[in-house]
Structure 1
Amino acid sequence: MDHGWITVLLLGCTVLAGASVQRLTGMGFALVAAPVLVLLLGPNGGVTLSNLAAGVISAVGLPGSWRQVRLTAMLPLILAATCTVPAGAWVAAEVPEPALLIGIGLLVSLASLLVLRGARASALRGVGGALVAGATSGFMNSAAGVGGPAVSLYAVNTGWTARQFVPNAQFYGVVVNAVSLATKGLPGLGASAWCLVAAALAGGAVIGRLLAERVAEDRARLVVLGLALAGGLTTLVKGVSGLG
């Protein structure tokens, strides 16, 4: 796929911002970047690139914190997500672009608001809650690139601290995004776009690590969710405008 230089530069900036956010908070690449990537590359290309980039940046952060991963708690989440990834991939491939843009915009906006409010529900606790959150996350990750919020809501309802959440979110991101990519394949980008994406991922990992030492977690979280909500609403408007 041949992209103009302006598109390629916007692509690089978006990936840089998303990678910085994910390295800082343990999640958020897709919330910040997926709506913009969808507008730049179309629903399929944007979601697939979001899966790839989120998986890579999670893998970068995992070696330093893998000892804190709760494998027993993560297993139901990952198994449930793996079961629903194919359904999300089917939706992403078969649904017309305007409808898919509307769906992605709604999912991103709703997920942002739910996480922002710290929604609590008894259904999101214990093994049953892990299965519900994992199934929802797997579908959303494959269809719209935004699997993190469901896992975040599960963590909130389970009582995990931010320190506990980050390494587990990174582990989850590596596995589930790998499954999504195995189901859908890699995005079709030109050589220049691939080079810029790689550089943006590396730069974002460094920036996110530096910001983690200087930015208060609550403030960073509000910025991430605010950007995500704006991106989701923009994507929603784009989809609605394409219906005519």
Structure 2
Amino acid sequence: MASLGGVLAVAAVALGATMQRATGLGFALVAAPFLVIILGPFTGVVLANLLSAAVNVVVLCSTARALHGRLAVEMILGVLAAVPLGAWVVTSLPGPLLLIGVGSITAASVAWVARGNPMLFLRRRGGPLLSGFTSGFFNTTAGTGGPPLAVYALSTNWEQRSFVPTVQVVGLATNLLSLAAKGMPGLSGPLLLSCVAAMAVGIAAGQLLSRWLPAERARRWVTALALIGSLTAVGKGVTALW
């Protein structure tokens, strides 16, 4: 844990937890790349899933009053349908090309909506189910489940106060399904404890940040995080092709 890489990983966990509490998204987008570099692809992603699930629970505990239960259930049904398909696709198609494709589609969608062009079909009855399916599929194949939920929020003018707890429930379901499918590897005790402590600090900082963060600015941060996650997936795919 004394290494520079370990320090950066812990700092990324703290920053990711701050963003997750303040905006509803951001933990995996910020922390996962560093954890993957330090621990390798499998262990890094699994640890990111584990910590993200813990962040989901803690954030939900302080925001649950604004939870949109019906919307969360519809999205989780989409996630449940998508995870097996995503797992099959991952084992059937070249990983780098899949990352590039998924990331490019999501980045284009985020950019389209951010310019003020909502995807009106998401406002229809099946919109939450489709968004949950897309999120579950992208999470399984590229580790970027947040951007599709951000696209749904931007397209439907979803209130930030309700968005935060609802996506925690959806994210928790997705992370638990991912952990169940992949299992738990051996983890370094000092690193795990340091990450848990950093996570607690980040959540506390995000709690303070959320009190003065205007809804419009939070929406812009969600858009930025979604775009960063999408472009990260593309970058991972391009790098893997070299």
TM-score interval (norm. to shorter): 0.7 to 0.9
Where does the alignment leave 5 or more consecutive residues of structure 2 unmatched? Answer: none
3-state secondary structure, aligned to 2:7: helix
Q: Which residue of 2 aligns with 1:129?
A: 127
1:102, CA displacement in angstroms? Answer: 4.2
Q: Which residue of 1 aligns with 2:51?
A: 53
Residue deviations 1:62-113 (CA, integer Å, cap 9, x gap): 1233232222222221111112123334455676665566457546744653
The answer to which of 28-37 and 207-216 deviates more is 28-37
1:217, CA displacement in angstroms? Answer: 4.0
Establish whether residue 214 from structure 1 lines up as the match of residue 206 from structure 2. no
Q: Verify the 8 A CA contact 2:67 2:166 in the aligned structure 1.
A: yes
Q: Which residue of 1 aligns with 2:177?
A: 179
Whole-Å separation in 1 of the counterparts to 2:236 and 2:142: 15
> Which of 8, 20, 23 is the aligned partner of 1:22?
20
The answer to which of 228-237 and 122-131 deviates more is 228-237
Q: Verify the 8 A CA contact 1:19 1:53 in the aligned structure 2.
A: no
User: What's the % identity of the aligned pairs?
Assistant: 43
3-state secondary structure, aligned to 1:197: helix
The answer to which of 158-167 and 187-196 deviates more is 187-196
- RMSD, aligned CA: 3.1
1:133, CA displacement in angstroms? Answer: 0.7
What is the TM-score when the length of structure 1 is the normalising length? 0.81
The answer to which of 157-166 and 132-141 deviates more is 157-166
Whole-Å separation in 1 of the counterparts to 2:112 and 2:19: 19
Q: Verify the 8 A CA contact 2:142 2:233 in the aligned structure 1.
A: no
Q: Verify the 8 A CA contact 1:69 1:168 in the aligned structure 2.
A: yes
Q: 1:237 to 1:172 in 2, by over 3 A?
A: closer
Q: Verify the 8 A CA contact 1:35 1:235 in the aligned structure 2.
A: no
Aligned pairs, number: 242
Q: 1:5 to 1:112 in 2, by over 3 A?
A: farther
Whole-Å separation in 2 of the counterparts to 1:156 and 1:231: 16
Q: 1:117 to 1:82 in 2, by over 3 A?
A: farther
Q: 1:104 to 1:130 in 2, by over 3 A?
A: closer
Residue deviations 1:221-243 (CA, integer Å, cap 9, x gap): 54565466456546644543442
> Which of 81, 84, 87 is the aligned partner of 2:85?
87
Where does 1:26-37 land on structure 2 (aligned, <5 Å)?
26-37=24-35
Residue deviations 1:4-47 (CA, integer Å, cap 9, x gap): 82222221111111111001111222233334444444443443
What is the TM-score when the length of structure 2 is the normalising length? 0.81
Where does 1:196-207 land on structure 2 (aligned, <5 Å)?
196-207=194-205
1:203, CA displacement in angstroms? Answer: 1.2
Read off the aligned partner of 2:184 and give its amino acid letter: L
